Amino acid sequence: MDTPEQPQLYLITPPELELSSFPDQLARVLDAHDVACVRLALSTRDEDRVMRAADALRDVTDARDIALVIADHTLLAERLGLDGVHLSDAARSVRHARKTLGDDAIVGSFCNGSRHDGMAAGEAGADYISFGPVNASLLDDGTHAELELFQWWSEVIEVPVVAEGGLNTDLIRALTPVTDFFGIGDEIWTSETPQQALADLIAAMK
């Protein structure tokens, strides 16, 4: 993943998706907008369902030369030949994932709002660090990644950073100068027209 001047788009699938319709919906969004990476992030622990979803989405992303990573399932990423894995346990699994998948794979690490965890994951070999949610909410323990964290990271650390979770146009305007990627999921998939919802978020980067 390169780090250009304007943040790149990193799409995150819904936690539940219909294989009869979602791959086509994803294809339409990818054809309408320039996307760097897609993360398959299903809530199910059903191995067969995850594998079938990965196969279906890989057909879509491969045809467009877009990276596909999977959330947490390092062994499945290796077995299915995906581009990498997104780990949600900060730095704990980074070295294992890198050893399993090799130097060419994408290994990303979600570190919530912890500067320390982000630095540890970067030192362990993560290709990018993801902080979020960026919007305060009452979900979980209410912690979120503050704007100051992204400002500090962009000035001090070279590892690319992703901003994700609860994005809106105001947050995108504020974060555009200090993040490399926007991780966008429910912000568009809950819309009747995901392409237009994404276009609105992209417009806020300008």
Q: What is the pLDDT of residue 3?
A: 44
Q: What is the distance between the alpha carbons of residues 118 and 122, in angstroms, rounded to a whole number? A: 6
Give the separation between CA 97 and CA 78, rounded to whole angstroms.
9
Q: What is the chain's mean pLDDT, rounded?
A: 95
Mean pLDDT of 13-39: 98
Nearest alpha carbon to residue 178 among 144, 201, 148:
148
Q: Cα separation of 141 and 143, whole Å?
A: 6
Q: What is the average per-residue pLDDT within 1-27?
A: 89
48-68 confidence digits (pLDDT tens)? 999 999 999 999 999 999 999
Supply φ then ψ for residue 49, to 5 degrees: -65, -40
- Measuring CA to CA, which residue among 204, 188, 203 is closest to residue 25? 188
State the average pLDDT over residues 121-129.
Answer: 98
Proportion of the chain above pLDDT 70, given as a percent: 97
Which phi and psi (to 5°) does residue 119 adopt?
-65, -40
CATH superfamily for domain 8-203: Aldolase class I (3.20.20.70)
User: What residue ranges do the domains of the chain occupy?
Assistant: 8-203
Please give the pLDDT value at position 42.
98
Residue 141 pLDDT: 73
